[in-house]
A and B are shown apart, each in its own frame.
Chain A
Amino acid sequence: QKEVEQNSGPLSVPEGAIASLNCTYSDRGSQSFFWYRQYSGKSPELIMSIYSNGDKEDGRFTAQLNKASQYVSLLIRDSQPSDSATYLCASEGKYGNKLVFGAGTILRVKS
């Protein structure tokens, strides 16, 4: 069983719309969750971290965490073509410090 699961997509949204990316995790002991953005041919870039239940907003990005449902999401408001990338969800593993990554969701924002 994969520890972090994401829909591979592609998720296509029109420019200006809200993109919703979802992730589930299996380890109830995980405390920290991260969203990375990876452009084609580039390395992953950390865009959001979330540690507590609820929402965390940073500019156009909102991360949501529900530990009871073991669910993490990322909302991107006013999506732009430059947001087109693969978004990787990661949880901090059982033994701390090590990240477990999902397979990633490809997002395509069409102008």
Chain B
Amino acid sequence: SAVISQKPSRDICQRGTSLTIQCQVDSQVTMMFWYRQQPGQSLTLIATANQGSEATYESGFVIDKFPISRPNLTFSTLTVSNMSPEDSSIYLCSVGVAGAGGEQFFGPGTRLTVL
């Protein structure tokens, strides 16, 4: 399976600031996704990162708060904007390959704490 890296692995940020998380894959993949996992909770899909076009956001998530870029088939960024303590969470990118039966593989995650 693909090797996925995320930067930063963790960060502590101040309220009102923004943080950009990077996701890098070592091979071209069809699908890239961004999830949030709040403390003690399961995973919630934020958006599907589309190469060369605007991301597809899930209900409850908006582009102004979580802008996403995907300039090519191996890289994507998620920005958490105007952060509040409620944004404290683990943010995970995942990748899928067409024809792989919907399997997704996760990066190591970014642990974000907002003070």
Contacts and interface: CB of A to CB of B under 8 A. Distances in A.
Given A88-B43, A101-B42, A102-B42, A46 B104 contact: yes
Contacts of A88: 42-43
B42 A97 contact: no
Interface in A15-63: 31-32, 34, 36, 42-46, 49, 51
Interface residues of B, number: 20
Interface of A: 31-32, 34, 36, 42-46, 49, 51, 88, 92, 96-104
Interface in B39-65: 41-45, 48
Interface of B: 31, 33, 41-45, 48, 90, 92, 96, 101-109
Count chain B CB atoms within 10 A of each CB in A32, A51, A97 and give the residue with the most: A97
Say what secondary structure dominates the interface of chain B: strand
A49 B104 contact: no
B43 A101 contact: yes
Given A44-B43, A97-B48, A34 B106 contact: no
Nearest to A33: B102
18 contacts: A32-B102, A34-B102, A34-B104, A36-B106, A43-B90, A44-B43, A44-B106, A49-B101, A49-B102, A49-B103, A51-B101, A88-B43, A96-B102, A97-B48, A98-B48, A99-B45, A100-B45, A104-B42
